[in-house]
Amino acid sequence: MSINNEKDFGTPASPSTKLVTLEIDGFKVSAPEGTSVMRAAASIGIEIPKLCATDSIEPFGSCRLCLVQIEGARGMPASCTTPVAEGLKVVTQNKRLADVRRGVMELYISDHPLDCLTCSANGDCELQDMAGAVGLREVRYQPGENHLNSTKDQSNPYFTFDPSKCIVCSRCVRACEETQGTFALTIDGRGFDSKVSPGQNESFMDSECVSCGACVQACPTATLMEKSVIDNGTPEHSIITTCAYCGVGCSFKAEMKGEQVIRMVPDKNGKANHGHSCVKGRFAFGYATHKDRITKPMIRASIKDAWKEVSWDEAINYAASELKRIQAQYGKDSIGGITSSRCTNEETYLVQKLIRAGFGNNNVDTCARVCHSPTGYGLKQTFGESSGTQDFDSVMDSDVILIIGANPTDGHPVFASQMKKRLRQGAKLIIADPREIDLVNKSPHIKANYHLKLRPSTNVALLNALAHVVVTENLVKEEFVKERCDVASFEKWRTFIAQEHHSPEATESITGVPASDVRSAARLYATGGNGAIYYGLGVTEHSQGSTTVISIANLAMATGNLGHKGVGVNPLRGQNNVQGSCDMGSFPHEFPGYRHVSDAATHELFENAWNAKLSSEPGLRIPNMFDAAMDKSFMGLYVEGEDIAQSDPDIHHVHAALRAMECVIVQDLFLNETAKFAHVFLPGASFLEKSGTFTNAERRISPVRRVMTPLAGYEDWEVTQLLSNAVGYPMNYQSPSEIMDEIARLTPSFKGVSYEAIDRLGSIQWPCNDEAPEGTPIMHEHTFMRDNGKGLFMPTEFVATQERVNSKYPLILTTGRILSQYNVGAQTRRTDNVAWHSEDLLEIHPHDAEDRGINSGDWVGIKSRAGETVLHALISDRVQPGVVYTTFHFPESGANVITTDNSDWATNCPEYKVTAVQATKVTQPSEWQKEYSAFSEQQLDLLEQGISNG
C-alpha cells in the first residue's frame, strides 16, 4: 500500500491498439481489446469495489467483490476477469449486486480483527475502504472458529506479517511470482485452512524471500506492513525522487511525515522500474540519518592529529589555501580531484569544472576508471558513443539473451525481475560466467539453455570463438553489415576471426568451455531471433576489458542485433550515476559529452563559456595520481563521494599514496576509509537532501528531488561552489537547474534536457536534441554515432593475462557483489541489510576445500603476489574447481589488499576479476588486517576527540 494519490485501475493495461466500445452504467466507453471491464469502468471514473485486484498484477477473480451484471449473460461475473467486448452492456450498481457485495464483505470482517482505530493501516487500508464502499454496518455472524490469534511473523527487519489480518486475496503471492519472479510465497491449505506461507511454512527470513517489498506493496490490509509505518504512523505527503543505489535508477515516492522519511514506495509510473523495487531501494534508506553521519566540517594538519570541528568558512578557506600552497610549491599539475558516481550530474559537472577551470589542469577522474571505463572506450571506438544501446523495456522483445560477466539478480535486481519475466515467457538464455549465478538454474521456472562456464580472464577467447562460428557457418547478417557498417573493417575482421585458432575447438583448452556448447550457443544467438547482450564488471575489470567490449560489439554487429527493440549491447552500470559521471566529463581526457580536451573547437567552446584558460593536455588517471604522489609531484586531492582507500586495487599502494599527499579533502557522509587519510572533511548530503538528476544504465536522466533539509546545511553542489570561489574561480549558481541549463548549452546530446522537460516527461534518455526532443530509447536505429555513420569492426586478438597460476598460487580469485550490500558498503552496512550479509565470505569449491582441510566457517588465509587477507570460508559448488570468489563490501575484509596493479591495456581499469592466490586454513586475521584495524580504531578515536572538543 501507499499514500492513495495514484489511481489503481484494478488490472493491467492491454497492449492492443484495437478499440471496442461498450456501455457501463449507461455511459459509452471505448477501451483497447483485452481490457477488463473493471479497468474500462475505472477509466471513466466508475469504481467497482475490489480486494484481490490491483493493476500491477494479472486479475485473479477470487474476492467476489467486483461482481457485475451483463445484459444477456447469466450470473454475476467478476469484472476483473471479464474482458470488454463490442456492444457489451454492463451494470455495476443495483440492489442485488449491493446485497451480494455486502454479504461477501461481512464474511471477510467476521474473521478479521476489529481494531481499525489502532491498526497501523488505519486510513490506508483497502479492506476498510471497501467496507465503507459496500455499506457494511454490522456483522451478523457469531464468533466461531477464526484466525484472530495467529502468530505474527516479525523475523524480517523491515516488515511484519500478521496472518490474523490476512484475507487470503493472493495479491502478495501473485506479486512475488509476477513482479519479482522469486515464487517465495504460496497459499498453503484449502478452504478455511488456506493461508499465505513463505516457503514451506517458514518465517520470511528463513524463506527464499528477497525482501523486494512487492508483497508489502500489494497487500490491501495491514497483514504485510512496514515496521517504519508501525513505529512512526502513516505518512502524510510524498515526493517523487530516484534511488541512489545501482544503475537501474528506480523511481520512488519518498513518503514523508514532515521531514521524516517513513517509507520509500516504488513509483508505478517510473519508466525504469514500473513500480518495482529491491531490498536496498525499498528499505535501506536509514543510512541517511545514521548516527555515524558527520554534519560539521573538520580540519587537521596531519592524519596523526585529532580532528577539529570548524565553521564552513574556516574549512573551505583552509582547504583552498592548502591547494594554492601546494600548487605554488609543486606546480600547477600537483593537485586534482575525483568525481562521484553517487552524486548528481550537476554536482559532478561542477567538480570537473572546478578542476579544469579553477585548478587549471585536467587531473580529474572518476570511479568508472575502476569499473566501466573499458565500456566507454570500446563502444566509442565501434559505435561512436560510450553508452548502452537500449532501454530496459527492450528486453521484453528479446528472443535470446546473452549475459556475460554480470549477475543481474544481485547487482541489478529490479531489471533482473523484468528479464526473468521475459525468460518465463519463453526467451532463450545463454550465460557466460565462471560462477553459477542464480539465473543459471536457481531461479524458479528459469534455466539457462547454455552455461558457458569459462575460466576467468578468457572472455576474449570465448567471444572470438562465438564470432568464429557466426562467420564460418555463414550466419552473418550480410545485409545489415553492408548497409550499416564499415565494410572494409568488416572484411578485415572476417578474415581475422575465421582463422582456425579462434575456433571453439582451438579455444576449448583456453576457456575450458566445450566446443559443442560454444557452437550451439553461437547458433542460438545468431539465428534465434532478437538477440540482446547484457554485460557487467566481469567483462570490463580485466586486462583485456576494452578488447572484450569491442568483441561484444563485433558480435552484435555481425548478427544484426542492433538498432531496434529486443537487441543491443547493454552494459549494466554498477552505481546509480556511473553513466552520468562519465557523461559529465569526469575522465582526464574528455570534456562533458565525451569530447577530447585537445579538440580545438571543443576547447574554444569551453574556454569561452567558462571564461578560463583551459589545458589541452589530458590529465592524470587515478592510478597515475597515486604513482605521482609517491614521486612527490601530486600532493593535493579533492575527493567527492568516492572511497578509493577501500575500492581501488593494490590497497598497500593506495594507502601509501594517500599518506604521501599533503592535503586530502574528502566530501562524504561518513568518515569512510579514504577520510581516515584526509586533512579536510567536508560533510556531504545524501540523495534525500539534494536536488538534481541521475543518469542510469539506459541513459535515462531522472529527477532527484530534495525531501529533507541537508543535515550539514548545504547540498553537495553548493559545497563545490564554495570551494571554487575560495580558490579563485567564481561560481554563482542559484540552483541545480541552472547547472543543467549550462550542461545542455555545452553538450549536444543534452541539448533538449531541462528540468521543465524532465518534470513533463518524468525522465529523458539522451541523446535529447532537435532530432529527438523527447529522448532516444533505442540508439543507432538508422546510423551509428561515428563520423561516417558506420559501425566499425576491430580485430580482437586474445592475449593471456600476466596474472597466472603456478604451484605457489594455484587458485584464481574473482570478485562480485551480493544483493543486500552495495559497493563498498558505506550505506548498506549502516542499515538492517546486514541481517543478510554481515561479512565478506570466500566461496571455495568442495574439491579445493577438501584438499586444504577447509570447512565452511573456517578462517581462510588468501595470499597473492600483492598481499594477504583472511576471510571465513563458504564451501560452494557455484564456483568451479580452481576458482575462489568473494565480495568487497566490508573494509576489514581487505579484498583489495590481494588484488594486483594489473589493468586494462587501454583504460587502466584494474583486473579485479583475476588474481592468482593460495588459500590455507588459518586461525587468526592477517597482519594487514591487524594493522589496519588498529589504524582504523586510532582514526575513530581522533574523530571522537575532535567531536568532543568541538
Q: Which residue has the cell 550499416?
A: 484
Cα separation, 10 vs 236, in Å, equals 24
Cα separation, 106 vs 633, in Å, equals 79
The segments of the chain whose pLDDT lies below 50 read 1-2
Cα separation, 928 vs 731, in Å, equals 44
DSSP string, 684-714: ---GGG--EEEE-TT-EEEEE---S--TTSS
Q: Which residue has the cell 479492506?
A: 127
What is the residue type of 674? Answer: T
Q: What is the pLDDT of residue 3?
A: 57
Q: Which residue has the cell 554487429?
A: 557
> What strand order describes the sheet that includes 700-704?
692-695, 700-704, 764-765
**Average pLDDT score, the chain:** 95
Cα separation, 889 vs 280, in Å, equals 14
Cell numbers linked to 783:
546510423
Cα separation, 594 vs 928, in Å, equals 40
Q: What is the pLDDT of residue 4?
A: 53
Q: What is the pLDDT of residue 37?
A: 97
Q: What is the pLDDT of residue 142?
A: 78
In order of 55, 457, 461, 471, 793, the CA distances from 496 in angstroms are 53, 21, 13, 10, 11
Cβ 388 vs Cβ 395: under 8 Å:
no
Cα separation, 179 vs 177, in Å, equals 6
372 in helix, strand or coil? coil
Q: Enumerate residues 6+ apart whose C-beta is below 8 A from 914.
A: 456, 457, 542, 543, 801, 803, 812, 813, 814, 902
Q: What is the model's pTM?
A: 0.95
- Find the radius of gyration of the CA atoms of the chain: 29
What is the residue type of 861? Answer: G
In order of 514, 521, 812, the CA distances from 460 in angstroms are 16, 16, 18
Pairing of strands 224-226, 308-309: unpaired
Cα separation, 96 vs 44, in Å, equals 23
784 in helix, strand or coil? coil
674 in helix, strand or coil? coil
DSSP string, 805-835: --SSS-EEEEEE--TT--TTSTTGGGSGGGG
Backbone angles phi, psi at 653, to 5 degrees: -70, -40
Cα separation, 428 vs 52, in Å, equals 32
Asked whether the bond before 767 is cis by omega within 30 degrees of 0, the reply is yes
658-688: string of b/e by CB count within 10 Å (b at 16+)?
Answer: bebbbbbbbbbbbbbbbbbbbbbbbbbbbbb
Cα separation, 699 vs 747, in Å, equals 14
How crowded is residue 81: how many other Cβ atoms within 10 Å of its Cβ?
Answer: 17
Q: What is the pLDDT of residue 313?
A: 98
Q: What is the pLDDT of residue 5?
A: 64
Q: Enumerate residues 6+ apart whose C-beta is below 8 A from 102.
A: 134, 135, 136
Cα separation, 453 vs 513, in Å, equals 6
